[in-house]
Amino acid sequence: MYDMSLELFDALFAELDVDTKVSIFNEWARENRPDDEIFEFDEDFLNVYFETPYDACRAMFFGNITSWNDPYIRFNGYANLVSMSDSETEEYIKDYVSELYEYPECYSSYIDEVDDEEEDDEEEECEEDV
């Protein structure tokens, strides 16, 4: 088990790039909330999740495609599609940080374990420098 506080996890998680955050989130979501998984917005996604072009168009029309250049896409609660920019994706995932924290197996390969004591030592050093 990781010996890190939620605050430290949140700070370390915030430093990760959006692709890594999506990877961690999706690993957690597959086990806990499979309907919330985030996908790359590309032709492969459409081919895998829709049987016909009509079905894909319907899901886009009734969903919320804000830009065809958005890198990510997800299903909303009505099986329609919502596209997301990098910043929208990060904001969406940010709402789940406390849940992600509870599953270190999802992030252990991305975030190194850091003891809270080590962080406290670093904070004290910074305060002494001031």
State the CB neighbour count (10 A cutoff) for residue 58: 15
pLDDT top residue among 78 and 125: 78
**Parallel, antiparallel, or unpaired for β 72-75 and 81-84?**
antiparallel
Q: What is the pTM (predicted TM-score) of this model?
A: 0.82
Higher model confidence: residue 118 or residue 110? 110
pLDDT in tens, 11-44: 999 999 999 999 999 999 999 999 999 999 999 9
H-assigned helices in the chain:
6-14, 18-32, 43-49, 53-61, 86-94, 97-101, 104-107, 116-129
Q: How far apart are the first and last CA of the chain?
A: 35
pLDDT digits (tens, 9 = 90+) for 59-115: 999 999 999 999 999 999 999 999 999 999 999 999 999 999 999 999 999 987 654
